[in-house]
């Protein structure tokens, strides 16, 4: 827990008093576009055979880094309003990919994993670097696979950033085995660029567990939507094997769904305060893992209804503990842990050992921060045990992790005197979080 431990020795800076909810919330909250959809759409549009549109894209640190990375490779991305004059829309105009270029990945898993295969298609060297934490996050699956598929890569630190991909203007492609147990993004990264590999790709996952399957489904669905031919393990395919055939991709006009993982703190507010929150434009069908919140938060004590107005989630004021495997929906863990710390019975969150390699070591950070407010959380080999206890105020450290900040805000609804350190870290995926939060509460 390098980041978690070191941040604690620093004096706390930039403390945001998390608003305490004196009553039940009753609000409609419009949530900006999905990070995962926006960044996949940008990559697919950049390697397409014709221009495309992206409407209601998420504008946040992770998506602006993706757009900037693609621009440095030669892609034109015009930010503006759509052809019908309504809402933000980006026009993406594919152009020959070229280096030399330098890509800043920040601490965005999607940028550090999805762009190296694009760089392998470019003509010239492409340097990748990012925040200190990006050097610690696993990248070996992408680096080793690209090498096996014909790319030349200099990775001074073997399997990690910083590194240089020496793009040769194209990539052979073919069959490759990877262990994606530390991140599903290894699989998504290879599949997304594969239509442009000479032989396409066959990716065989050979590791133990594979986390975040809905995110791989999202990759497959979005590839198919632009004309790619994809074989996948689901629907009768070979287990743990994905194939993408080489083909030209269509330009798409895509409206991005709201980010359902970013909807989580607002739904949690309904649960925690016994109130009601509506999220407009909640999709009827989606591959976003956040859709699981309907089931998980219902089991924890609320109820929900999907209507033309969106998803309305209603709390009862009572929160129950839960025993749940979150392996498919790992990014929901911090928010679920926060709610579980306020419940009337213990919780066990399982299947999320890979969270130790996310923005920070999330299992260590959640344990430490909830316990410092008086909680009783222990780390297990693959998750957390949370035994609710009366909590008290204090500083909630965030370790450059947007979901730690929103988890702290959830606890602050029910516990007076919680101060979030560096709430601005929410800019990774939700720059307006503090304003949206206070507006929801009417404070």
Ligand X SMILES: O=C(O)C1=C[C@@H](OP(=O)(O)O)[C@@H](O)[C@H](O)C1
Give the active site residues.
331
CB of 381 to ligand X, least distance (A): 17
Q: How far apart are CA 418 and CA 372, in angstroms?
A: 11
- Residue 76 labeled ligand binder: no
Does residue number 403 form part of the binding site for ligand PEP (CB under 6 A)? yes
Q: How far apart are CA 196 and CA 370, in angstroms?
A: 46
Q: How far apart are CA 241 and CA 234, in angstroms?
A: 10
- Residue 137 labeled ligand binder: yes
Give the strand pairing for 123-129 and 101-104: parallel
Does residue number 108 form part of the binding site for ligand PEP (CB under 6 A)? yes
Residue of minimal Cβ distance to ligand PEP:
109
- Residue 35 labeled ligand binder: yes
Taking CB under 6 A as the criterion, which residues in 415-434 touch ligand PEP?
429
Pick from 61, 354, 397, 402: which binds ligand X (CB under 6 A)? 354
Please list the residues that pair with 278 across neighbouring strands. 28, 312
Does residue number 36 form part of the binding site for ligand X (CB under 6 A)? yes
CA 84 to each of CA 80, 89, 257, 274: distance values in angstroms, whole numbers, following the listed order: 11, 10, 18, 40
CB of 65 to ligand PEP, least distance (A): 10
Euclidean distance between the first and the last CA atom of the chain, given in angstroms as a whole number: 36
Q: How far apart are CA 197 and CA 426, in angstroms?
A: 36
For residue 100, give both structure tokens: 């030399």
Does residue number 331 form part of the binding site for ligand X (CB under 6 A)? yes
Pick from 72, 164, 184, 262: which binds ligand X (CB under 6 A)? 184
Does residue number 109 form part of the binding site for ligand PEP (CB under 6 A)? yes
Give which of 147, 65, 64, 55 is closest to 102, Cα–Cα: 65
- Total binding residues toward ligand X, as defined by CB under 6 A: 13
Taking CB under 6 A as the criterion, which residues in 188-247 touch ligand PEP?
none
| Cα torsion through 316, 321, 327, 332, rounded to 10 | 40
CB of 416 to ligand X, least distance (A): 31
CB of 366 to ligand X, least distance (A): 15
Between 212 and 278, CB nearer to ligand PEP: 212
What does 375 bind: ligand X, ligand PEP, none (CB cut-off 5 to 8 Å by kind)?
Answer: none
- Residue 358 labeled ligand binder: yes
Count Cβ atoms within 10 A of the Cβ of residue 11 and give its class: 0-12 exposed, 13-18 middle, 19 or more buried: exposed
Pick from 34, 63, 110, 264: which binds ligand PEP (CB under 6 A)? 110
In which region does residue 173 sit, left (phi positive, over 0), alpha (psi from -120 to 50) or beta (all else)? Answer: left
Crossing angle (nearest 10°) for helices 185-193 and 213-225: 10
For residue 40, give both structure tokens: 């996949």
CB of 104 to ligand X, least distance (A): 18
Contact predicate 395/417, CB 8 Å: no
Does residue number 259 form part of the binding site for ligand PEP (CB under 6 A)? no
CB of 214 to ligand X, least distance (A): 9
Residues that bind ligand PEP (CB under 6 A): 108-110, 331, 358-359, 403, 429
| Numbered residues of the known binding site for 3-phosphoshikimate | 35-36, 40, 183-185, 212, 331, 358
| Numbered residues of the known binding site for phosphoenolpyruvate | 35, 109, 137, 185, 362, 403, 428
Residues that bind ligand X (CB under 6 A): 36, 109-110, 183-185, 188, 211-212, 215, 330-331, 354
């Amino acid at each position: 827990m390098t980041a978690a431990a070191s941040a604690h020795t620093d004096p706390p800076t930039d403390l945001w008093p998390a608003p305490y909810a004196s009553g039940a919330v009753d609000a409609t909250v419009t949530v900006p576009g999905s990070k995962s959809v926006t960044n996949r759409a940008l990559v697919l549009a950049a390697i397409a055979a014709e221009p495309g549109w992206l409407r209601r894209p998420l504008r946040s640190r992770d998506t602006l880094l993706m757009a900037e990375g693609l621009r440095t490779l030669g892609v034109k991305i015009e930010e503006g309003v759509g052809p019908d004059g309504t809402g933000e829309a980006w026009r993406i105009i594919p152009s020959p990919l070229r280096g030399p270029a330098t890509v800043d990945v920040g601490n965005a898993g999607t940028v550090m994993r999805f762009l190296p295969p694009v760089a392998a298609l470019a003509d010239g060297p492409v340097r990748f670097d990012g925040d200190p934490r990006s050097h610690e996050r696993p990248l070996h699956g992408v680096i080793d696979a690209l090498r096996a598929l014909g790319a030349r890569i200099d990775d001074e630190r073997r399997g990690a950033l910083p590194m240089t991909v020496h793009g040769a203007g194209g990539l052979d492609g073919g069959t490759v085995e990877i262990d994606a147990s530390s991140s599903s993004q290894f699989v998504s990264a290879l599949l997304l660029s594969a239509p442009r590999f000479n032989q396409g790709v066959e990716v065989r996952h050979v590791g133990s567990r594979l986390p975040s399957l809905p995110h791989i489904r999202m990759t497959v669905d979005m590839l198919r939507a632009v004309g790619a031919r994809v074989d996948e393990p689901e629907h009768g395919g070979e287990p743990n094997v994905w194939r993408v055939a080489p083909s030209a991709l269509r330009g798409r006009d895509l409206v991005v769904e709201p980010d359902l993982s970013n909807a989580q703190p607002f739904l949690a507010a309904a649960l925690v305060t016994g109130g009601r929150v509506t999220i407009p434009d909640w999709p009827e069908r989606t591959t976003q893992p956040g859709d699981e919140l309907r089931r998980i938060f219902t089991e924890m004590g609320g109820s929900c209804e999907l209507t033309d107005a969106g998803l309305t989630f209603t709390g009862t004021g009572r929160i129950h503990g839960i025993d749940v495997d979150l392996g498919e929906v790992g990014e929901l863990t911090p928010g679920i842990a926060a709610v579980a710390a306020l419940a009337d019975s213990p919780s066990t969150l399982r299947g999320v050992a890979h969270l130790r390699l996310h923005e920070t070591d999330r299992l260590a950070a959640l344990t430490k921060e909830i316990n410092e407010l008086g909680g009783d959380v222990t780390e297990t080999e693959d998750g957390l045990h949370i035994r609710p206890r009366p909590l008290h105020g204090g500083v909630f450290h965030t370790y450059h992790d947007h979901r730690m900040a929103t988890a702290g805000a959830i606890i602050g609804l029910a516990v007076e005197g919680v101060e979030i350190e560096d709430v601005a870290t929410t800019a990774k995926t939700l720059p307006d979080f503090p304003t949206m939060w206070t507006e929801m509460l009417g404070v």
